């Protein structure tokens, strides 16, 4: 009787663990490829989808790296 109750208890714990594991969602990742005007490619992964303004910002950032007078501080 004790062994049967113990096994049922273990099954309950395992069932709860599996049910909890199924509810976890993987964070979605969005991969973007930026090609600068000097033909360098940069791949960047974000946890959210970029807006047009964010995409333009990063594209401008990588384009600016082609300029010989550009210095990043």
Q: What is the pLDDT of residues 12-43, one digit of tens each?
A: 666 655 555 555 566 678 899 898 888 888 88
State which residues form the domain around 35. 30-64
Residue 40 domain-assigned (yes or no): yes
Residue 10 domain-assigned (yes or no): no
Residue 47 domain-assigned (yes or no): yes
Residue 35 domain-assigned (yes or no): yes
Length in residues, the chain:
73
Q: Which residues pair with 42 in a beta bridge?
A: 34
Q: Write the pLDDT tens digit of every residue in 61-72.
A: 888 888 777 666
**CA pair distance 43, 53, nearest whole angstrom:** 18
Contact 66, 40 (CB under 8 A): yes
Following DSSP, what letter does each residue of 10-72 receive, concatenated?
HHHHHHHHHHHHHH--PPP-EEEEEE-TTS-EEEEEESSPPPHHHHHHHHHHHHHTTSTT---
Domains of the chain: total: 1
């Amino acid at each position: 009787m004790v062994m049967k109750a113990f096994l049922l208890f273990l099954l309950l714990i395992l069932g709860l663990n599996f049910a909890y594991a199924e509810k976890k969602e993987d964070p979605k990742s969005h991969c973007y490829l930026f090609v600068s005007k000097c033909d360098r490619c940069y791949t960047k992964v974000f946890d959210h989808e970029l807006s047009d303004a964010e995409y333009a910002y990063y594209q401008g950032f990588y384009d600016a790296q082609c300029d010989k007078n550009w210095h990043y501080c």
